[in-house]
Amino acid sequence: MSLSMYEASIPVLARMLGNLSNILKKAEANAQARGIDPKVFIDSRLAPDMYPLARQVQVVSDMAKGCAARLAGVDVPSWADTESTFEELQARIAKTQAFLKGIDAAQLDGSEDRTVVLKMRSGDLSFRGRDYLLGFALPNFYFHLTAAYAILRHNGVDVGKMDFLGGV
Amino acid sequence: MSLSMYEASIPVLARMLGNLSNILKKAEANAQARGIDPKVFIDSRLAPDMYPLARQVQVVSDMAKGCAARLAGVDVPSWADTESTFEELQARIAKTQAFLKGIDAAQLDGSEDRTVVLKMRSGDLSFRGRDYLLGFALPNFYFHLTAAYAILRHNGVDVGKMDFLGGV
């Protein structure tokens, strides 16, 4: 055994949220430079039946706080999904990062075998902690993070892979 | 310590590659049903300066075999990136999965602290194994996997989040 549940989750989520924040800053500057109403980016989608940028960012936040809370065995904070400006999305990311910061590494000890239950429309879904992290929380987190990035690239925002990775 | 480097990498990569294979099968069937030349999907991009579908799949494969090989301390297999049909992309995925299957869990023992060196155009990049996995290989893998999926959704292919996750 070589990785702690903590290091495989919280610092990864926190770092990628920081990258998302920087990407959104570049998107806001790009809208300003091109004389585009920021709402155009905020409401943009890759397909009519995919989420727009604002919702993608909210779900990234939900996946991060849900993962951290469930693995730590604390209540998942419930936040209204009302963000509709870059400023509000930045605040949502900052709030998510503050929540992650409040989780102590020791709270995740043993979470690999803790039972995690997700309330879905279709009923309860039960996972072992390790399967929840590796097979649900991280894939979902990366999915919505990449979708947010791709919406902006699709709209001509000058971000690149290094912005996504946050440097290597 | 609660997760092995093996379980945080190989089975995750293998499972997501299987999901990608299923998504590409649905895309091929969708092209056929709509009377669209499959090349339209294969060459489709989300932005002029992003990779088309075929290249996204090749990079997903590269990230998976590179991650597995480097953590196991074996040579990364070098494959020509010549796939230009759904059949060839499926073969590339199958070849990648076969390579992953050939890696034994014991080969990754201790890889969390093994030094991984990436040859980049800008010079050598050196990581500890754990940072390579969590901060480079997995984010890149998910990035290109999601990009492939998003290209197809953008083109109206009827895949959904459950196809991406492979069921939960």
pLDDT along chain B (168 residues), means of 10: 92 98 98 98 97 98 98 97 98 98 96 93 92 98 98 97 90
* Bridge-based pairing state of the strands B123-128 and B115-120: antiparallel
Q: Is residue A144 part of a domain?
A: yes
The answer, for B47 touching chain A at a CB cutoff of 8 Å, is yes
Total domains, chain A: 1
Determine the distance in angstroms separating the CA of B128 from the nearest CA of chain A, rounded to an integer: 12
- Which run of H or of E encompasses B56? helix B53-72
Q: Is residue A167 part of a domain?
A: no
pLDDT in tens, A48-87: 999 999 999 999 999 999 999 999 999 999 999 999 999 9
Q: Is residue A129 part of a domain?
A: yes
Cα separation, B56 vs B27, whole angstroms? 15
* Residue among B50, B130, B139 minimizing CB distance to A153: B50
Q: Is residue A88 part of a domain?
A: yes
Determine the structural domain holding residue B16 and report its residue range.
5-161
Task: Quote the pTM value.
Answer: 0.97
Mutual angle of helices B53-72 and B138-154, in 10-degree steps = 160
The answer, for B140 touching chain A at a CB cutoff of 8 Å, is yes
| B2, B53, B119, B136: best to mutate for the A interface, most A CBs within 10 A | B2
pLDDT in tens, A142-167: 999 999 999 999 999 999 999 999 97
**Cβ contacts of A100 within 8 Å, gap of 6 or more:** A10, A13, A14, A17, A64, A65, A68
Q: Is residue A124 part of a domain?
A: yes
- The DSSP secondary-structure symbol of B48 reads T
Cα separation, B2 vs B155, whole angstroms? 41
Q: Is residue B79 part of a domain?
A: yes
- Please tell me whether residue A43 adopts helix, strand or coil conformation: coil
Which among A131, A144, A50, A127 is positioned nearest to A92, based on CA atoms? A144
Output the domain CATH number for residue A99.
Answer: 1.20.120.450
Q: Is residue A32 part of a domain?
A: yes
Contact B116, B71 (CB under 8 A): yes
Q: Is residue B146 part of a domain?
A: yes
φ/ψ region of A116 (left if φ > 0, alpha if ψ in -120 to 50, else beta) reads: beta
